[in-house]
Amino acid sequence: MTDDGKRIRLAYEEEGDILEVVFDDVEATCAVELTDNIVLRFHRQEGRVVAVLSNR
């Protein structure tokens, strides 16, 4: 749970070996590939991180 009381959701997709950590229910409008295996999804207009994805 975050400091403001929101729940953090984890989703794992076994076939693609992808873990997604979702911080907010807001729809992501942009994504940035931080590394070959990590993608940051965010809502650009609100300046909020929505999720982080990690894959192998």
- Is the pLDDT at 2 greater than 80, yes or no? no
pLDDT for 8 equals 92
pLDDT tens, position by position, 6-55: 789 999 999 999 999 998 888 999 999 999 999 999 999 999 999 999 99
* 16 within domain boundaries: yes
pLDDT for 26 equals 86
* 48 within domain boundaries: yes
* 31 within domain boundaries: yes
Give the structural domain span for 21: 9-55
* 1 within domain boundaries: no
* 4 within domain boundaries: no
* DSSP for the chain, written as a single string: --TTSPPPEEEEETTTTEEEEE--SSPP-EEEE-SSSEEEEEETTTTEEEEEEEE-
* 3 within domain boundaries: no
Domain count, the chain: 1
* 27 within domain boundaries: yes
